[in-house]
Chains A and B, each alone.
Chain A
Amino acid sequence: MNEVILKTEGLTKHYGGVHALQDADFELRNGEHVAVVGDNGAGKSTLVRQITGVEQRTSGKIWFDGREVRFASPIEARDVGIETVYQNLALADDLDVPSNLFLGREKTLFNLGPFSLLARKKMREDTQAALDRTAVKIPNLSNTIRNMSGGQRQCVAIARCASFATKMIIMDEPTAALGVQETNQVENIIRTLKKQGVPLVLVSHNLRQVFDLVDRIVVFRRGHIVASLNRDETDGSDIIAYITGVKSQGDNAAAFL
């Protein structure tokens, strides 16, 4: 087994009296693709937000790449190599593809502080290379995001993460708003990432997708992790049993409460 890249221990988040996440022990190994599933409000997105520093946890510890970490903002998480695809795509609608791909980390010709000239040609070439790497087809790179379909936008967002992620990628329901064809395209990108050995946390509602793509499935229920199952040792009805609370791993007593 590969070494552990991300590990949480007793990760807890309370919003006032709401225990959104309770004592979550989560692990991700290098090269591994893990799905996080569960009903609405089960704590999936809460987990993501604590890891990426969008929110500050109530208690618990997070280790990343062998060091204990506490990110004050998503930018800090990004700086150490964790890229996140958000549910509401973090793209600027009025900018074209290369501008979005390099937003906040533009390549420049020479340094004049904020007035540095952009290396437009270089960014365009790198964008094309990044899209090719993730097998994304965008007909016209100078088109603005506004003029693209939902699937193309999501592909740009994912290509952006894939081209900068040095250590791991988190995707929070990347296909929730997409049609069948577009979902296929995104899933193909995820398969490409798997081949490249980039570890991934995939939050998803779509069990078919989860079984198609990942190595391991972690089930959340009411803020707790109730199961962590290898894909090959489980099936859809088993997962649903955990999601709905019919079955429970480890703490068997909880199922009878």
Chain B
Amino acid sequence: MTASPSINKRKSWPTEFNALLGLIGIAIVFEAIGWLVQGQSFLLNTQRLSIVILQVSVVGIIAIGVTQVIITGGIDLSSGSIVGATAMIAMSFAQVSTYPRAVFIEQGWVDLPVIIPLAVGLACGMFAGAVNGLLIAYTKIPPFIATLGMMVAARGVAKWYTKGKPVSFPTDSFAAIGKGMMPVAIFLVLAAIFHIILKYTVYGKHTYAIGSNQEAARVSGINVERHLVLVYTIAGMLSGIAAMVVAARGLTAQAGMGLMYELDAIAMAVIGGVSLAGGRGSIVGTVIGMLIFGLIISGFTFLRIDAYYQEMLKGVIIVTAVIADVWRQKRDALKSDV
């Protein structure tokens, strides 16, 4: 069957645009309800907006890494646990000497220059991510299983590290990473870097190619295994960065940190139009998805909806986003058949 010329010429409607319309729509709805119910503006409140942005920035950093993982057709369930483990380990190298129960006080590893906990944190995240990547690329187990294993194991590491005790009192230079709007700045820089990497580099092309058609990527000479290891390592590194930001902000690290972050990050990506089937999505989309996510959560708080309901609604949002993705895929599959 021959396709009609209109299909050939029309450029497909970018999913990011749908997400952006969704963002605007949701903002208008909350604004309207705000005036009707609370008698005040929802959006014209810089304090509330900055809190929204701060809240989502940390998970947003993870979502950047998760986006490229999902584009390869994979998934990463371990991000939240990697945050927990990395926060504990990095924080233990960032403690002040005046705190008598610092983890490495006997070794004298206190008041260290900030570069050391930073390097340790990055290394932890990258190590966990590399293990994910090696498992997925070379044992061919599904990414879901490999990262599920890492999710459980990394949480174990976080608890074992200090036998469950929190690690607190970081140096001022380490705490600075989480001060004020610093998390937002870090997020923006990383988002910009990865936007460029995914869109304008060989790495990005290969990431999309693998998610789109792994066999085609292979016969085209792309080293699929090596690339996957790199993708998961970078995702782990970004989880590590998020861990240090969140620990520095709270001035403490706890074994339970980052719980469910992986699901929030996946939700942000999927809401932003990143397809779970792989091959499609962008950092711009994920950033919009992140803002939608943050707006909905803070909108519910604004309307004084109980936290329990918020969690239930979060679940609904995630499933809805995935349904939308499945519909998109079906529509495209029909289009490919013409």
Provide the bound-state CA to CA distance between A152 and B3, in Å.
10
Given A94-B279, A147-B335; A116-B201 close (CB under 8 Å): yes
Q: Which chain A residues lie closer than 8 Å to B197 at the CB level? A: 115
- Chain A residue with Cβ nearest B4: A149
Pair A92/B11 contact, Cβ less than 8 Å: no
Provide the bound-state CA to CA distance between A105 and B217, in Å.
11
Pair A117/B221 contact, Cβ less than 8 Å: no
Count CB-based A-B contacts (< 8 Å): 106
Pair B332/A146 contact, Cβ less than 8 Å: yes
**Among listed A24-32, A124-132, A136-144, A243-251, interface-contacting one:** A136-144
> What total of chain A residues lie within 8 Å of the partner, measured CB to CB?
39
A118 adjacent to chain B (CB < 8 Å): yes
- Chain B residue with Cβ nearest A138: B8
Provide the bound-state CA to CA distance between A142 and B11, in Å.
8
- Chain B residue with Cβ nearest A111: B202
Shortest beta-carbon distance, B212 to chain A, in Å? 4
> In the complex, which residues 88-112 of chain A have their Cβ closer than 8 Å to any Cβ of chain B?
89-95, 99, 103-106, 108, 112
B163 adjacent to chain A (CB < 8 Å): no
Pair A147/B202 contact, Cβ less than 8 Å: no
- Chain A residue with Cβ nearest B216: A90
For B215-230 the 0/1 string (1 means CB < 8 A from A) is 1110111100001001
Pair A103/B3 contact, Cβ less than 8 Å: no
A16 adjacent to chain B (CB < 8 Å): no
Shortest beta-carbon distance, B58 to chain A, in Å? 25
Pair A93/B213 contact, Cβ less than 8 Å: yes
Shortest beta-carbon distance, B47 to chain A, in Å? 39
Provide the bound-state CA to CA distance between A25 and B4, in Å.
45
Pair B202/A139 contact, Cβ less than 8 Å: no
- Chain A residue with Cβ nearest B336: A146
For B251-262 the 0/1 string (1 means CB < 8 A from A) is 000000000000
B203 adjacent to chain A (CB < 8 Å): yes
> In the complex, which residues 194-247 of chain A have their Cβ closer than 8 Å to any Cβ of chain B?
none
Can you add 19 more A-B contacts, CB < 8 Å, to A99-B205, A118-B205?
A92-B213, A93-B279, A95-B208, A95-B209, A95-B212, A99-B208, A103-B209, A104-B217, A105-B221, A112-B201, A114-B203, A116-B201, A143-B11, A146-B335, A146-B336, A147-B7, A147-B12, A149-B3, A149-B7
